[in-house]
């Protein structure tokens, strides 16, 4: 008895008997379900968590917060509107941005140290 006989005894038995039984569809359905569950926990759920954290961060923005945009611009919030904010990036230079463009909120005093 070889290792190969242990791995494929069912296939060998079917070929010898000439049976034409249909394979069960359940292993394929179970595998498809397992792949979906794995994709949910590995990709969909973490992305939803990041979106929720970003949405909460954007809702908490207030005048005077120091932020970094997704384009890499650092500045201090001068005015907060419904969907736009005004950011002062230098003395007397203000830029109007969408709230969704905010990437991170910096600790207070970070911009003065630069």
With helix as H, strand as E and coil as C, how does 7-38 read? HCHHHHHHHHHCCCCCCCCHHHHHHHHHHHHH
- For 53, 57, 74, 105, the CA distances from 97, given in Å and listed in that order, are 20, 15, 12, 15
Alpha helices in 18-93 (DSSP H): 26-39, 45-59
Rounded to two decimals, the pTM is 0.68
Q: What's the rounded Cα separation, in Å, for the pair 23 and 45?
A: 34
Query: What is the spatial distance between Cα 39 and Cα 33, in angstroms, rounded to a whole number?
Result: 10
- pLDDT at site 22: 82
Instruction: Say what the pLDDT of residue 55 is.
Output: 95
Rounded CA gap, 52 and 32, in Å? 28
| 113 — pLDDT class (breaks 50, 70, 90) | low
pLDDT computed for residue 111 by the predictor: 87
């Amino acid at each position: 008895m070889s290792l190969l006989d242990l791995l494929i005894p069912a296939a060998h038995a079917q070929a010898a008997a000439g049976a034409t039984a249909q394979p069960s569809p359940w292993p394929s359905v179970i595998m498809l379900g397992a792949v979906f569950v794995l994709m949910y926990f590995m990709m969909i759920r973490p992305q939803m968590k990041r979106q929720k954290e970003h949405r909460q961060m954007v809702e908490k923005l207030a005048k005077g917060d120091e932020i970094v945009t997704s384009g890499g611009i650092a500045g201090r919030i001068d005015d907060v509107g419904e969907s736009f904010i005004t950011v002062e990036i230098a003395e007397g230079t203000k830029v109007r941005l969408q709230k969704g463009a905010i990437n991170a909120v910096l600790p207070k005093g970070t911009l003065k140290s630069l």
